[in-house]
Chains A and B, each alone.
Chain A
């Protein structure tokens, strides 16, 4: 009879009988996805709170994207649970000494903040769509549906005078301001889930939440940049083919100019947070080596031996060093940025991987190792959800959601709302 975890765990030397890699790929995806949520939100707040004007275009985009990601963030945990339908118990009897118990509260608080910020940002748009439809006499079914959706979204508020919009703007600023610490908390506490496990020698460090927040912001900014560039490229393509029905698009050259300046500006913030993230991670590594407590022998053999490729080649070199150079060399082009941000995203993913899987690469006995073999081809539900396909599905879903949500919250070509 197969035990959960047995399928993808290979034991080497002395490992306790009950030890398996219980936290697998979905637990790698969980901090990765929440990190993207938090990072995208922080990026949008840079404009709303600190008034960094150059990020204006990016800010609205990042906020909508953060909203799309938000729905996917709890999915990896649910997929990981042995009893996903009992997951609701976390809200019914939260046991507050556990870091996971706060998930519901933090998640919904954050969701409420993002949703209300979006509402204030798009209120004018809702009214402008709903009102003409209201007046229209013979509506088609599609228009009825659209009218119904947008009418509901206005929440009955149709006042879009100059004065109220000014107040909206203030509300957005306040919400974005509250949102930054909440976003950091959302992700910092994901780091706390790992950092507070005293049984795990690799995880237990108070630096863990801070490292998680920094790498979260890095990954969020990188993903926003990537999605932004891809959408802009599509728009440029459409502009050059003049396929746009409304003719609202600017010319291809205009778009390109906007794109490059926005990307260069965002890249500066990406670099700033990357330097922070890498410094903290290196500090953690150096500190462990210097203090060399009981667990260091086994940790060293994992970090410098078994996981050397994952940590030093894939994470630090390909995921950190190369993109750092790519961004630092002057005259940043779009093509270079695309390569850079993909590598950054990969680097952050590898960081999560090295924490979650690396943390289970050695036995609690400190005298044995466990190797993780991720299920690739699924042959049952478990190997699907805790395998490559489950992880890929989780990663793709936010883009699909973003595509749907962007129909209601248009991220481009929106007339000035404030």
Chain B
């Protein structure tokens, strides 16, 4: 009986620790509300830690083009994300016209995008750390086939970086 209790406690403890770990990077929330008379409402909330983990399981060749395009800008992206994380809460961009209202804000440790137009209101909130990890994952997930290695050991991406 004591052994069963220990096993149950172990399983429970592992589950709690696992959930805590998964939730440690915060949550990605997507909220879509339609302005139609027959209103539809979509609300999705997922642990942000699964974003880079999911990206890891996507075959590398699917990200070849994205990885090649991202790689030269990674120092800038890293600097931007680090600085954004450290800065106070701020409305980064706001665009208003007769058709729509777009708002991009940094609140706490998240980037929040709100788009309001005639049809619907879309709200997306993503922790900055998760965005950075996911971009890092995509940038590093280049398949070996996409690397054209020259005789001097350099490759196309290194060439582009040094330009």
Q: Do A and B bind each other?
A: no
